[in-house]
Amino acid sequence: MYSMTGYGLCDTMIDDVYVKIEMKSVNHRYLESAIRMPREWIRFEDALKKRIKQRISRGKLDVFITVEQGSHAEKHVSMDSKLASSLRNSLTEMQHYFNVQSVSLHDLLQVPDLIKVEQAEMQADENVQAALLQCLDTALSQLINMRFQEAVHIKEDLIERLTLLEKVIQQIDSVCDDVKQNHREKLRNRLKELLEDSDVDEVRFTMEVALLADRSDISEELTRLKSHCKQFYTLMETASPIGRKIDFLIQEMNRETNTIASKVNDLAVTNHVIHMKSELEKIREQIQNIE
């Protein structure tokens, strides 16, 4: 079981370029990855996203790839010829106007944008892609490990709440027969009051009371709730993504709980149902972060 929140980092040297890959992930219904990288490496984006998809199933993932070229990286020096020509004409006029004999090279270098020093474009070949993928794998491993560690704490909380749910289910189960019998007696007494002055077939009367009482039977709902709890425990031990399955399971458990509430008109059972719905809501909030 894994959560969807994590962080990973890797840095490496590719040729004479220092590369840092930083990533973070948060909750999301599906897998959504956004990669920010130098323009020269845009061609690698599909390969990087494919690698992410191989290792992560859900979550919003932001990946930042930053580079810093080393001191030995090739540099290109260029001069803005149009600006230089315009500057030469202006300096000639200024020499005559101010009676200045010469302008030094140092003075010319102070002119903004006259001389440009640019880094050579970074390589974008298969070797670079392989090195990037290797660095990405390292960062992904860190992120996945953090997601696993967080899931350990989530699992502890879920087990605690499931244990409470099982106790409440058992408490309802223990009074189920009494509740059914009480309901049958209440129906019998109520119907006798309504039919006090009428001739009633006792056998038919007893059958009708039994049918009405059976409609309030919650044994099937309790059995399904117990089964759902067992499935929940099993899913938490699964390595594959389980977030959607658990979400569906919680919906089913809520449905069974609501059915119990609608069937049974008993104060003790109603209080237990309220407790169950409270715990199910807390579980539902927790599982939103499960992959």
Domains of the chain: 6-72+125-147 (3.30.230.70), 75-119 (no CATH), 150-287 (no CATH)
Q: Which among 59, 1, 63 has a CA at the least distance from the CA of 29? A: 59
pLDDT tens digits for range 37-96: 988 889 999 999 999 999 999 999 999 999 887 555 566 667 777 877 787 777 777 777
- Residue 223: per-residue pLDDT: 93
- Residue 231: per-residue pLDDT: 95
Would the CA dihedral through 172, 173, 179, 183 be positive or negative? Answer: positive
Q: Give kind and range of the element (H or E) at residue 21.
A: strand 17-26
Burial 66-97 (b: 16+ CB within 10 A, else e): eeeeeeeeeeeeeeeeeeeeeeeeeeeeeeee
Q: Which among 175, 167, 170, 154 has a CA at the least distance from the CA of 236? A: 154
Query: How far is C-alpha 64 from the geometric centre of its chain's CA atoms?
Result: 19
Burial of 140 (0-12, 13-18, 19+ CB in 10 A): buried
- Residue 247: per-residue pLDDT: 92
pLDDT tens digits for range 204-230: 666 665 666 666 778 889 999 999 999
- Residue 277: per-residue pLDDT: 93
pLDDT tens digits for range 137-189: 999 999 999 999 999 999 999 999 999 999 999 998 887 767 666 666 766 67
**0.85 surpassed by pTM:** no
pLDDT tens digits for range 256-278: 999 988 887 778 888 999 999 99
User: Which has more confidence, 115 or 28?
Assistant: 28
Q: Report how far residue 166's alpha carbon sits from residue 175's, in angstroms, rounded to the nearest whole number.
A: 15
How many residues are present in the chain? 291
- Residue 33: per-residue pLDDT: 95
Cβ atoms of 164 and 279 within 8 Å: the answer is yes
- Residue 34: per-residue pLDDT: 96
